[in-house]
Amino acid sequence: DAKTTQPTSMDCAEGRAANLPCNHSTISGNEYVYWYRQIHSQGPQYIIHGLKNNETNEMASLIITEDRKSSTLILPHATLRDTAVYYCIVRLYNNAGNMLTFGGGTRLMVKP
């Protein structure tokens, strides 16, 4: 699995967009980018994943650069409940089991 680099922590004002960057310069062509988050005292929660196209769902948008060496998770209108550790994971997705490797993640603090 390709290594990812994320800032240790970030702050965001409530109601504003939160943009969380992730660097994965060694990503290979068939590896996906996944984002999970972990709210304090809870298990991780899946947010979104993508290969090379930008993706959007009800929680967030994922923007992947054309060279796929970095990506940004966007929470369009952050709320206090979005305060969590956000993990960017790069992994090959196939039928052989999706054994995720979580790094240190980014601790996002949403402030009123």
Q: Residue 63 in 3-state DSSP?
A: strand
Q: How far is the CB of 18 from other proteins (least distance, A)?
A: 19
Q: How far is the CB of 25 from other proteins (least distance, A)?
A: 20
Q: Which range binds other proteins by CB under 8 A, 11-19, 58-66, 74-82, 96-104?
A: 96-104
- DSSP conformation letters of 15-60: TS-EEEEEE-TT--TTEEEEEEEE-TTS--EEEEEESSS-EE-SS-
HSE of 59, CA atoms in CB hemisphere, 13 A: 13
Q: How far is the CB of 96 from other proteins (least distance, A)?
A: 8
Residue 87 is a binding residue for other proteins (CB under 8 A): yes
Binding site for other proteins (CB under 8 A): 32, 34, 36, 41-46, 49, 85, 87, 93, 95-105
